A and B are shown apart, each in its own frame.
Chain A
Amino acid sequence: MTPLLEVAGLSKRFGGLVAVKDLALTVGGGEVVGLIGPNGAGKTTAFGLISGSLVPDAGEIVFRGHSIKGLPPHRVCALGMARTFQIMRPFPRLTVVRNVMIGGLGRHPHPAAAEARSRAIVDELGLGAKADHLAGSLTLAERKRLELARALATEPVLLLLDEVMSGLGERETETLVREIRAINARGIAILLIEHVMRAVMSLAQRIVVLDGGERIAEGRPATVANDPRVIEAYLGDERLV
């Protein structure tokens, strides 16, 4: 079976800096893959390349059998891939529901239909009480949920989540892990960038480790966590411990 997403030889430089180098990566249908690595490893850049907001210098990206390299982000999204932003980008002067509707209108062009779908998603993610508040008034934890809600509204088959748990409390993290698991249970594959190791370990079936833009390890969570190269990459980074 061909995987849902297949990335090969992906590279990107920013001036003299090689942010992503010859990256290979696959995500199967319904799979949860973790993408980890120290700060500056190139994880967010890889998301940008895959989702079309950055143009790769080299490499191939095949999603659902289509080559999506060079496609603009809205086309990639229409094909069924949605991403969240590590640096959250809500529309602050639109309400929470309106924010989610922007994602939903692509699938449901009629505003009333998109709004109904969006309210359901907002409720599901526990933002129901804030549905008609301006997004600019949300707390950090709520804005993370909003990012997720908007991405879900595009009805993706593959979700790219960029550190949706960072900065959350323990209780909030647990809830979010449960919610992500529920999303995955509906058949949505997930590529997960995460620094909260407990979350990645419990969610991901497979983990890819990046360091200095290169893939240094890949495998099952338990194997990767004990890989000496991975431990070395994280040396001095107490988060893995």
Chain B
Amino acid sequence: MAKVTLTIDGIGVMAEPETTVLQAALAADVYIPHLCYHPDLRPAGVCRVCMVEVEGRGLVPSCLTPVAEGMTVSTESPQVDKVRRVAVELLLANHPEDCLTCGKNNRCELQRIAAYIGIDRKQLGRFRRSKEPIPIDTSNPFFNRDMNRCILCGICVRTCEELQGTCAINYVNRGYKAVTAPFGNEPIAESNCEACGECVVRCPTGALSCKGFQEPTREVRTVCPYCGVGCGIRLGVRGGKIVSSQGDPQSLANHGRLCVKGRFGHDFVNHPRRLTKPLVRKQGELVETDWDEALGLVAEKFTQHKGKQFAAIASAKCTSEENYVAQKFTRAVMGTNSIDHCARL
């Protein structure tokens, strides 16, 4: 389809048809503050900080407004500033003021927007702060839910529903008391949450944050070792240790998404009790050895148990090719059809 031409802050912008003003602006490297928009999700239009002025229509949320040929958009005007500023000031007046010790410090969208629009300490000081503290939900082994920092952008709710299909969280309560929570406002560990962490990586604030997060010094692109899907991951490395794992958006296997294992399951790599050498049992004791000896022993034992004595179960951690080799080996070398796969059980 033909592209649509519109003007944003006086600059001519070509946009894909059926995109929104916000998407068109971001694609053209024009920043419009936004909190509840996420490229992977349907727009919700609830944070109201992405307001822009469209000629002939007045103030509109850019994340909900489809581009139109000849449209003239201003991302900055006294009206825009007034409405957006009130929304951001309200959010800040209901937010803890301890950015330096927050897990999302420096990676927080609220911080970024506050910096962008410029907040006056005295102005903000006029706002009443009446939010009651909410206990932090630490029940999940991998991430915390600190609803004191939640801005109710609803990204986590939409992620869990639209991407993960689990629907573990939703809005509860009304008005000022509204929060996102698992069913019955129980701890998340007691819900049907699968701990995939998809919501955690999308949360724009410190409301959802990984336990013990450390900023990596560099990232390594690789493939998740856990299963045959072969999700692309970016392992964050710091001081020779893996400190984080993110889905690789460029990987066609997972488009940036991961499951609980791929995202949170890499601490075994640096675990002190991890086996790094093969062990063989000698006189009832397991002793370290090298691979030659270990594999030699296996081969020797296999030769003694060909045919009916042998059966194999292949693993879902293996790729299709590896599984193929396993069945070929069982039939052709070991001489039996007794081969099965754990995914069939």
The answer to whether A and B interact is: no
Interface residues of A (CB under 8 A from B): none
